[in-house]
Chain A
């Protein structure tokens, strides 16, 4: 194509792109040509005497002659291209070579990308380097996370753990500032891993008129690769919790095949699932289920074993840190009437070392002369709850979860009702309300502050008469809830649904049919009349969450004649449900780290949220982080109030060593300790480079377009040197290139004149 173009138009397309088009004739010449053309044209028009001409023939002939005349005129006007051409050896060119890990990928006919870079740019025999050196003074740099000069004898190792294009270009620009620079060549796959966009670098390059000539190395898509693209894990989990984690897998070249997805923790396999590969280039999300049984910071690896022929093996594994909390979380369970539900819930949680249920059981109502009678089970101290339900925020907020059984709203004072709402909203606790004769509308809860918190709708006016509704309910997971861990009765979704079908129906005395917008329904039920009921619903409220379970006898899942003695459904359901109720409930001091996995010397932001005993944010505390490195070196990092948010403190810290770090944050005020929180982070070389390592053509093209350069593929860089020469930057000389003698113009002239002659001949005109 280019050869044909050059034959017709005398020069390469690049010359036309870079050059400015001008008319070269002088004023006098232009005037004379115009006059002569005018006379000739007039002569043609008056040449009408030929007999037998039809109007159409005449029109065609005249057009052809005028066209030929026009071409002649163009030639006489002397069209030219004016170019700025770099003066040889007077200009500099920066060559930036990508030295990062993604250059190890072998997708250039089975050879690593790095080989191309070495052969062409880094060795003295490099063809391209020689070409460039003839015309320019070449300065070479290597870059990955940082950029530096590449001197004689330096090697390229392709082990850089990040790619920062913007920073590299900026560094080269800075070093070559003040020198006549024709342009910057960047040899890379464009897999930039820096968090910011290239905008800032682009802007400064444009401002200084430095064109960038990217050379793209590698394939735009992998041909044979499996990648674990993303894994969503919680930051913390209570020991003994069953987690459901989403894993996103993409692949090319293995569509439809089945491979195992392995979840490992500290070298031990905790779950394996066979997954079918999605179509090429598409993503598939798999839910893996495993129980976190060991306390402390645990590394979990999500891995698809490397398959033969894969271009990149390192992106088959993703590692995440989950802090498994081995602590005893306390819930307060208030039952308003003695009933079997309380007994069996307690029984289910008895063997759980991490959940403590304190049962405050009301056994007799208040009389005019005596307060209500309570039984207190599972208390820590003899005076815990001695006055009944807590009357101070401090007492109530000392629990992480609150379960309200069959108890009417009028059993509480207005202040206590408000406190229950604040327990969820401000303290961030978990609330669970159960069904019963004194619950929900039947218990007068409509219109109370607690009704606002609940995920189900309770109309204030419609407080039903107790005893008006009763039905057997057959229960199944709601569509949205099928994957939720609480509702999982078996290892797979299909087996779980089957298990739900086999469970005996329960009964309900509360007719709950709708949830609030933003709430999720996890279980639905059908009553004896076929009406759909909401059986388990949840929503976030303020800093906490609220759940409602309007059945009165889930204990039938234990006692019913159809349930074998060894069946653990009831037991597992309640352990999971209560774990979920208290999941993520904050302590008075909570520390987070962002990100929680960095490279050594990369900064980490430590953030702590501090509150007092009533969970009011505290902005005047002294907050100190004790950071312990993998080798035991202890550093003190004070955190300061961020000002933009009450109770929020932060500091920046950069780990020096590789390995796990423990960060223990303590907040004190006036000599009193408000609380402590422990977090973990890991410093290790990043493997970002191996994920999605395909060639980013669009990024590199954009880089070229915006700076006035040009994008090349590694397969064809023959025009690179010339493009630099014609970039018009640096020390240049103006060249004029004539276009009047283009073969194209000559061919056009011949075509029009000859065509006219042939037409006349064919039509029998003179």
Chain B
């Protein structure tokens, strides 16, 4: 039978998810593996891969401006591992699937990975050195994905805005609609309302973008998934905590972001 592209890839998702779930569930049964759940003092960090041209997922590490948690490491490492496995299965990007990197903005190595992901930017604080690194990173062509934040105890959105304003004082975050090319770079996501919401009571997730010269027709420098936590779906893809359909949507977003970041 012939299938449309969408059907085909959805099917691929389901198959991949099931396989991965099966494999990873077995691993998880071995017990005692730590999940990056925030709040705990220790994160078992694996060593970074050296650059060799192959796509590597990069998560940004930062100091909190308040409390002494490891918010940056939420969903590390399983979020990115599962995500990379999916990316590898559905697209021609051949990323490292068993390893990923963690860099700070003042680490010169981060410049070799022009797509980076940051969790919980509501807690994000930057030193001057990190600011210099971030400025160079985005102005030369880097792309940032901000994820997993909501106005829980304070205005976390304002914190993100403030930090990015240190790089681009004139910047305005623009609400994205489903028409934007990033939602069609690989999968066609025609309705942002289907995007899953991890947090209860926060309504529909909001997607906002930061553009070059504040012009939405130009390059997007950063995308923020506000009032949601996409990587949470990635992390628990093997556990059945979240519905397969919703998990699929989370993976689709991720794949779209990566493909967009590699072509724009």
Contact = CB atoms under 8 A, between A and B. Distances in A.
Interface of A: 336-340, 342-344, 346-347, 359, 361-365, 367, 369-370, 373, 375, 377, 437, 470, 507, 509, 552-553, 555-556, 558-563, 565
A440 to B, nearest CB: 15
B3 A364 contact: no
Contact of A369 (B3, B111, B139, B141): B3
Contact of A373 (B51, B186, B261, B263): B186
A375 B263 contact: yes
B92 A364 contact: yes
A560 B112 contact: yes
Contacts of A344: 141
Given A553-B53, A559-B112, A340 B262 contact: yes
A565 B140 contact: yes
Contact of B5 (A361, A370, A509, A563): A370
B108 interface: yes
A507 B52 contact: yes
A403 to B, nearest CB: 14
B2, B90, B112, B219: residue with the most chain A Cβ atoms closer than 10 Å: B112
A364 B90 contact: yes
Given A338-B259, A565-B136, A343 B55 contact: no
A724 B57 CA distance: 98
Contacts of A470: 52-53
B180 interface: no
Q: Top 5 nearest A-B pairs by Cβ distance?
A: A561-B108, A338-B262, A337-B92, A561-B111, A559-B111
Nearest to B139: A565
A561 B263 contact: no
B135 interface: yes
Contacts of B264: 343, 346, 377
Contacts of B142: 559
Interface string B241-264: 000000000000000001101111
B94 A337 contact: yes
Interface in B106-127: 108-109, 111-112, 114
Chain A facing B: main interface SS: mixed
Which of A340, A342, A361 is most buried by chain B, counting CB atoms within 10 A of its CB? A340
B185 interface: yes
A558 B140 CA distance: 6
Contact of A559 (B53, B90, B140, B186): B140
Given A369-B8, A370-B8, A375 B185 contact: yes
B262 A343 contact: yes
B230 to A, nearest CB: 20
Interface of B: 2-3, 5, 8-9, 51-53, 55, 90-94, 108-109, 111-112, 114, 135-137, 139-142, 185-186, 219, 258-259, 261-264
Given A336-B92, A565-B140, 7 more contacts: A343-B262, A363-B92, A558-B140, A560-B112, A565-B135, A565-B136, A565-B139
A338 B90 CA distance: 12
A339 B142 CA distance: 13
Contacts of A342: 262-263
B141 A559 contact: yes
Contacts of B3: 369-370
7 contacts: A340-B114, A342-B263, A343-B141, A346-B263, A364-B92, A555-B114, A559-B142
Q: Which of B136, B139, B261, B263 has the most CB of A within 10 A?
A: B263
A670 to B, nearest CB: 42
B53 A364 contact: no
B5 A373 contact: yes
A132 B136 CA distance: 89
Nearest to A342: B263
B186 A361 contact: no
A367 B3 CA distance: 11
Contacts of B2: 369
Given A359-B263, A565-B136, A338 B92 contact: yes
B140 A507 contact: no
Contacts of B112: 556, 559-560
Nearest to B110: A561
Given A373-B5, A561-B108, A561-B136, A337 B259 contact: no
A365 B89 CA distance: 10
Contacts of A553: 53
A437 B55 CA distance: 12
Contact of A364 (B51, B91, B109, B140): B91
Contacts of A367: 8
Nearest to A553: B53
B248 to A, nearest CB: 16
A370 B92 CA distance: 15
B186 to A, nearest CB: 6
Nearest to B262: A338
Nearest to A407: B92
Contacts of A343: 114, 141, 261-264
B145 to A, nearest CB: 15
A322 B25 CA distance: 71
A720 B163 CA distance: 98
Nearest to A509: B53
Nearest to A471: B52
A507 B259 contact: no
A346 B261 CA distance: 12
A338 B5 contact: no
A338 B53 contact: no
A150 B2 CA distance: 95
Nearest to A336: B92
Nearest to A338: B262
Contacts of A369: 2-3, 8
A377 B136 CA distance: 26
B253 to A, nearest CB: 15
Contacts of B114: 340, 343, 555, 559
Contacts of B258: 338
A433 B53 CA distance: 18
Contacts of A563: 140
Nearest to A362: B92
Nearest to B142: A559
Contacts of A363: 91-92, 185-186, 259
A639 B9 CA distance: 59
Contact of B53 (A336, A507, A560): A507
Nearest to B2: A369
Contacts of B108: 561-562
Contacts of B135: 565
B164 to A, nearest CB: 16
Contacts of A339: 55, 93, 262
B103 to A, nearest CB: 11
B166 to A, nearest CB: 15
B210 to A, nearest CB: 17
A559 B114 CA distance: 8
Nearest to B136: A565
Contacts of A562: 108
A560 to B, nearest CB: 6
Contacts of A552: 53
B150 to A, nearest CB: 31
A342 B53 CA distance: 13
A556 B141 CA distance: 11
A673 to B, nearest CB: 35
A338 B93 contact: yes
Given A347-B141, A507-B52, A559-B111, A337 B263 contact: no
A561 B105 CA distance: 11
A359 B219 CA distance: 15
A216 B117 CA distance: 85
A596 to B, nearest CB: 43
Nearest to B51: A507
A20 B139 CA distance: 95
A417 B199 CA distance: 53
A465 to B, nearest CB: 15
Contacts of A370: 3, 5, 8
Contacts of B55: 339
Contacts of A340: 114, 262
